[in-house]
A and B are shown apart, each in its own frame.
Chain A
Amino acid sequence: MWGRLEKLEEGLVAFLLAAMTVVTFAQVIARYVFNYSFVWALELVSFLFAWMIFIGMSYGVREGSHIGMDAVVKLMGEKIGRYVTILATLLCITYSVIIFIGSWNYITMVYGLGNYAQDLPIPVWIPRLALPVGFALLTIRFCQVLYRTIKGESTHLVADEAEDALRHHVNASAEEKQD
């Protein structure tokens, strides 16, 4: 069940990026080739973009792809470093809870106003639901990191960018060898 949800998360993020690209591309083609422009394209793309960012940020925590400066924590040694990481994670949870509350307030406000989107015929609170949904997911992911750190499992709050770039390289050359 959990595994399936995680697959869904991945698929959704990749799909949103593909959809944004195709819609923007189609809009350019339509304008230049068929001399027809659809105004709602930009609004649609920005909605897709919002969902991609805010669904994706919790996925980023799971994948450990957010960048940070962990040099100092690494210098502190394992034990103190772990306490600092727990503190950092608690602060991250504080952040995502604050923004969740803020965005929930915002959504109830626009829901009450009943505004519609500029070009698309939908109430504006639907696309903007991305914000509270995203920050709820983010809170869950940070709690997961906290739980694992307290249990002493190896986790990471931030990315090792160099390792990421190189992992791609290893994957790419492995694939080339297969060919």
Chain B
Amino acid sequence: MTTIALFIMLFIFMLTGMPIAVALGLSSVLTIMFFGQTSLASMSLKLLNTSEHYTLLAIPFFILSGAFMTTGGVARRMVAFANACIGHMRGGLGMASVLACMLFAAVSGSSPATVVAVGSIVIAGMVRSGYTKEFAAGVICNAGTLGILIPPSIVIVVYAAATESSVGRLFMAGVIPGILLSLMLMIAIYVRAIKLDLPLQPKATLKDILVAGRNSLWGLLLLAIILGGIYGGVFTPTEAAAVAAMYAFFIAVFVYRDVKFYQVPSVLLDAAKVTVMLMFLIANALLFAHVLTTERIPQEIAEQIISMGMEPWQFLLVVNILLLIAGNFMEPTGIILILAPILLPIATELGIDPIHLGIIMVVNLEIGMVTPPVGLNLFVTAGITNMSIMQVVRAALPWLMVLLVFLGLVTYIPSLSLWLPSVLF
């Protein structure tokens, strides 16, 4: 009864177009007022506790470092480096833009930001050298999803907080799948490029590669600091994020000089705006999760599913379908916050590693970002190319198939995600 009331209220509130954060908070508060014993005061305190959650403290810092690094200049340097490395191969420009997305994802924790930053540079270039606009837009739209898989990723931090898993392990777990997806996209581009007879670019000299590499090195060091620092035990993920933010500030203002000093307050304000939006959502989602657990809802669902005698592989298939559908209607953070607390107890019961489940969820949500109606990458790609949403959907479709194959691999080969963290930790 309580469960049904909670979910129906949540659903109706969301449909009215109110902020998802308020829909989560209001449905939880009303459910407790009618069915529960918790006092209003301690519910309010639950919201405040979000700010004392150590893992979540990493979020503002990662967003801030992303805000300093997500400038046109950093993306341009990475595109130049990627081009110098593999531009001379058949379809090289396309493959280089995937590589650039991968590199850029390592300084930014967001997918649409990756599409906008890299796409606005490479799509025009690809069209100039003879690629069709559809080809270019489709590649970038999909490759941009790497932003939430390759560390640092805001979505992964949110998963870690929602499930009490280790941010460090999850970050490491995303590395190999991220590289694998990039390789798969590049191979697909190579195959298409031979068929379409796409142009080659002159081979860059070793000197060009080294110069381009040195120029983008400062940006890429960010990831080295984060992963190296966490792995080496120098600092916690939260501290790593704060160090990354200071480093990004220093590089953007004093080394690259993409951000002028007078612009720093507006970068801070932008990052603060995104942080607050996310944290308000997370605070209310944690209140929602609190209601779920006090009503023992995840446990009940878990018992039911296990009594159905579901095999782990069947469960993972159901998870994939559920997440693919949900990903069509909501953005990643919201889905992680609502579904992770429900899925995790079932997964643990079936012997699925929480880290593995996290990577599966992230990959599903990547796909959700390139499928209509709520695919954020589709919208931003349409925005930077002046194509209609429908055109972008069609353009993205062939590359989406690569993502689906990749999802299958990540789901049924756990060692793809689990090997690196198990070796390192």
- Write the residues of chain A forming the contact surface with B, with a CB cutoff of 8 angstroms: 10-11, 13-18, 20-22, 24-25, 27-28, 32, 42, 45-47, 49-50, 52-53, 56-57, 59-60, 63, 65-73, 84-85, 87-89, 91-92, 94-95, 98-99, 101-103, 105-106, 109, 128, 130-131, 157-159, 161-163, 165-166, 168-169, 172-173, 175-176
Contacts and interface: CB of A to CB of B under 8 A. Distances in A.
B41 A69 contact: no
B43 interface: yes
A146 to B, nearest CB: 12
12 contacts: A13-B273, A24-B61, A53-B50, A69-B17, A99-B44, A102-B41, A105-B39, A158-B18, A161-B112, A165-B380, A169-B383, A172-B71
Contacts of B20: 66-69
Given A46-B51, A99-B29, A161-B112, A14 B269 contact: yes
A159 B374 CA distance: 13
A106 B269 CA distance: 30
B405 to A, nearest CB: 27
A18 B245 CA distance: 10
B113 interface: yes
A95 B14 contact: no
Given A161-B376, A172-B72, 6 more contacts: A21-B61, A56-B276, A56-B280, A69-B330, A71-B374, A159-B277
B64 A98 contact: no
Contacts of A63: 273
Given A14-B265, A69-B374, A157-B18, A57 B40 contact: no
Given A70-B17, A88-B16, A105 B50 contact: no
Contact of B112 (A56, A89, A165, A175): A165
A68 B14 contact: yes
Interface stretch (B131-139, B207-215, B234-242, B408-416): B234-242
Nearest to B76: A176
Contact of A67 (B19, B70, B279): B19
B42 interface: yes
Nearest to A169: B116
B60 A20 contact: yes
Contacts of A67: 19-21, 277, 281, 331, 334
Interface residues of B, number: 77
Interface string B252-283: 00000000000101001111111111011101
A105 B239 CA distance: 34
A95 B26 contact: yes
Secondary structure dominating the interface of B: helix
A25 to B, nearest CB: 5
Which 6 A-B pairs have CB atoms at the shortest separation, nearest pair first? A162-B379, A56-B276, A102-B40, A66-B19, A24-B242, A102-B44
B273 A56 contact: yes
Given A28-B239, A162-B380, A169-B384, A91 B22 contact: yes
Residue from A15, A24, A84, A103 with most neighbouring chain B CB atoms (10 Å) = A24
B48 interface: yes
B276 A21 contact: no
B26 A24 contact: no
Interface in B117-161: 117, 120
A92 B27 CA distance: 11
